[in-house]
Structure 1
């Protein structure tokens, strides 16, 4: 069965009309949400003006409560909720006016506005916030919030007055562990720590949990080969354990914390204990050399300090080198100092996520897909391959959605209603130089290392 393959022309037209209507409704909702934020911000400002005129010793707290109670009674909701919304709205309108205006015009959604503002919340300089906002609004107009969040964190780093090394040293002092009771005999265990350690621990638990879900772990390489050969149907795998992946991660974590090893879950031979967590770090070569302070990125998402990145690079047994254009930052090539599957590494470095529009799944959770079916003559080459998460891999093969390579890692997706969506590979986390920079002529590329290594 192929989804919508038997749809009539009228039904396809109806789908296109519904899509247009839905887009316009969402734009209207965004405009109204921005208008609501504006009203709440004005209410907050009114309360502050009254307090300043009367020189209230509480600096407007009671005035804000009074205005919030007025709004809340009319809306029939909690005044605490309204006061919190007033504070959030004031923060958005006053600190990020360009973002608020873009939402009010329906160019971006409230979700886009939230991730842009959250990534830039530590920018204290108004000019820096304005420049950051302008750059991110243009990006947000064509991408999903999940993708905008990742890019926003990267762009915000460029406007930070303090280096990430300084900020990381301060942030490490806040590392902690806490317990929160939630009822029904359950409690939450929370942890705040360095990103490389947290992601490394999570990766190790995930590897252990996935290993336990399989009857025969030694068959994993064969399943990976089958995925790369364009298996259209998801492999039916026997489950040795009925627990979900999340449940297994939880149980393994407590096993490790309480015993120091997965004693309650390990197999003869200690195969689970032998698993080590790993993280992927992308670091500009200038940062690796210590001549630049551009942050590295962990798993393509989280900025980390150069000191940690250099430490991981020095301890790694091998790492991928990503050669990029010195001006455009475009990916030119990927190689490795030690032999390995070069094409797979190149695709992982180029794509950085699922290549279906709006999807942000990382390559580790994706299949490598032949855009033109290998069985029909499609080449196993960079120009015909891309990462797709299982959901969108199945959608491509079992619905009228189609994809066409446009070159340079650009893909054009066509929907069942005939609309075309362009998906471009994310820019590399690298340093670029203006063409006229003195002494840069003849430079073919600047590097960025992608390191996969234990985080400790």
Structure 2
């Protein structure tokens, strides 16, 4: 081979336009997914033929050893023949451990998550996403797994953070004893670690904190960093936050560690120590009845607005027992309500409605939290677009710029549902269930009313 020869930049198919490359790639991705789905169906058919219910029903007996069924999925999924599983994994070309896990995920979906399995077979959910869901649901009991399946089957897919929150909610709802044990075990792992001092006199720190404590700490650092900037500190915001840690430690505002019988601090101890306390904002769904045998569908799960996570009632009670805690109760917000304002500036009450509706940046696949996004006027304000929730869309700064300065465009199909068009004419539907690519691509720009 002549090392001076450069490879062809056009590949084996000759010169193609960007649009042609993307169209070919989309077709290949679809074909690859169809092949994987076919493999899933083969796995389920094989498992159906190799279920072991009793020792008498075992597929084989070799050297006097009974071929027992092995559990490779969650509670309620069938046991499969151990020896036949070895053969099947070899045919798949996978390692023993990796193949066993792979087959177990498919069985988990087919028997315990039938809605998810149907979504895979029908092409509405990528198999690799379903495998990730199966990994999270396998430890759940049957009721909790069925709850996750019902929530996800209709929408096809969600982001990983939202999926993990859904699994957490399922455990709280249907296995509260396990949820409380896991919460207590996690609380026992709280700690703050400081590494050794490096050559530049800096120390890296790591901490595991209670979620509400971490929120308080984060808010305090940001507040102090902002104040330092207003007072003339020219360091970056992150540096000012780091400097605030030492400032807080030296002032020791949160704890009264002074003892009146110590003569060195007697005079200071007479000054009252003031703890500003905690301000907790909770969005709580309240039902008229409690969860019991007669009412298994009541909602025992609280929702912490600032942490965007489901929490158990035990966790809420523990947070609210902190001294000087202030609880703010907000009225229920009708997300369908649309009351515009005359100005371009967006008031907090409208921003809050949009954030509750959309949760994340609405660009295809972007997980950025809506609370950290810009709010874009779908119809520009200068062109008559109203400043109201129905015309406001959260976009992170990067994707806001893409929409403004490139040929990416979107239209609002329904409240919370957005149809995006890429520069090459590919379409993506973004909604509460995540992002779905639409085929085939179209050349019409939905943002251009003249087309």
Answer yes or no: is 1:138 the counterpart of 2:154. yes
Contact 2:279 2:327 survives alignment (8 Å): no
Q: 1:108 to 1:240 in 2, by over 3 A?
A: closer
Match of 1:390 among 397, 400, 404: 397
Shift in Å at residue 155 of structure 1?
Answer: 8.1
Please tell me whether the aligned partners of residues 68 and 81 of structure 2 are also in contact (alpha carbons under 8 angstroms): no
TM-score, normalised with respect to structure 2: 0.58
2:130 is matched with which residue?
113
2:276 aligned with 1:262: no
State the partner residue of 1:344: 351
Q: Is the 8 A contact 1:295 1:303 kept in 2?
A: yes
Distance 1:281 1:18 in 2: 49
Computing the radius of gyration from Cα coordinates, the structure with the larger value is: 2
Superposed displacement of residue 45, structure 1: 5.1
Question: Does the CA-based 8 Å contact 2:59-2:67 persist in structure 1?
Answer: no
Which position in structure 2 is the counterpart of 1:284? 285
The verdict on how the C-alpha distance between 1:403 and 1:78 changes in structure 2, with shifts beyond 3 A counting, is closer
Please state how far the C-alpha of 1:212 moved relative to its aligned partner.
Answer: 8.5
Determine helix, strand or coil for the equivalent of 1:286. coil
Partner of 2:422: 415
CA contact 1:115–1:152 (8 Å) conserved in 2: no
Moved more, 276-285 or 364-373: 276-285
TM-score when scaled to structure 1? 0.57
* CA distance in 2 between partners of 1:399 and 1:367 (Å): 17
Superimposed CA distance per residue, residues 419-439 of structure 1 (whole angstroms, 9 cap, x where no aligned partner): 444444589xxxxxxxxxxxx
Tell me whether 1:17 sits opposite 2:23 in the alignment: yes
Distance 1:60 1:425 in 2: 38
Instruction: Say which of 307, 328, 331 aligns to 1:321.
Output: 331
Query: Residues 352 and 362 of structure 1 are in contact (CA less than 8 Å); yes or no, is this contact kept in structure 2?
Result: yes
Instruction: State the partner residue of 1:354.
Output: 361
Which secondary structure state, in structure 2, belongs to the residue aligned with residue 359 of structure 1? coil
CA contact (8 A) 1:353 1:360 kept: yes
* Contiguous gaps of at least 5 residues in structure 1: 1-9, 180-184, 192-196, 220-236, 253-260, 325-329, 335-339, 428-456
Task: Identify the structure with bigger relative contact order (alpha carbons < 8 Å, sequence gap 6+).
Answer: 1
Deviates most, 40-49 or 357-366? 40-49
Report the secondary structure of 1:383's partner residue: helix
The answer to whether the aligner puts 1:31 opposite 2:29 as a matched pair is: no
1:183-202 deviations in Å (ceiling 9; x for gaps): xx9x99785xxxxx633344
Mark the CA change 1:11 to 1:78 in structure 2 (over 3 Å): closer, same or farther: closer
1:96 to 1:341, Cα distance in 2 relative to 1, 3 A: closer
Structure 1 distance, partners of 2:403, 2:48, is 48
**1:82 paired residue among 74, 78, 99:** 99
What is the distance in 2 between the residues matched to 1:343 and 1:39? 52
**Cα distance change, pair 119–281 in 1 and its aligned pair in 2 (3 A):** farther
Whichever structure has more helix as a proportion of its residues is: 1
Cα deviation code 1:141-161 (max 9, x no counterpart): xx4444762685488479x55
- Following superposition of structure 1 onto structure 2, how do residues 175-324 of structure 1 map, counting pairs within 5 Å? 175=186, 176-177=188-189, 198-204=210-216, 206-207=218-219, 217-218=229-230, 239=236, 262-263=245-246, 281-286=282-287, 292-299=298-305, 301-309=308-316, 315-324=325-334
Contact 1:68 1:80 (8 Å CA) reproduced:
no
CA distance in 2, matches of 1:74, 1:281: 53
Distance 1:68 1:202, change over 3 A: farther
State the shift of 1:12 in Å.
6.7
Report whether the alignment pairs 1:169 with 2:180.
yes
**CA-based RMSD:** 5.4
Cα distance in 2, alignment partners of residues 28 and 303 from structure 1: 36
Cα separation, partners in 2 of 1:352 and 1:72, compared to 1, 3 Å: closer
Q: 1:56 to 1:426 in 2, by over 3 A?
A: closer
Judged with a 3 Å threshold, the aligned counterparts in structure 2 of structure 1 residues 358 and 268 are, in CA distance, closer, same or farther, namely same
Residue 139 of structure 1: CA displacement? 0.8
Q: Which whole-Å deviations, capped at 9, do the CAs of 1:68-88 have from their partners, x for residues lacking one?
A: 766777777653433444444
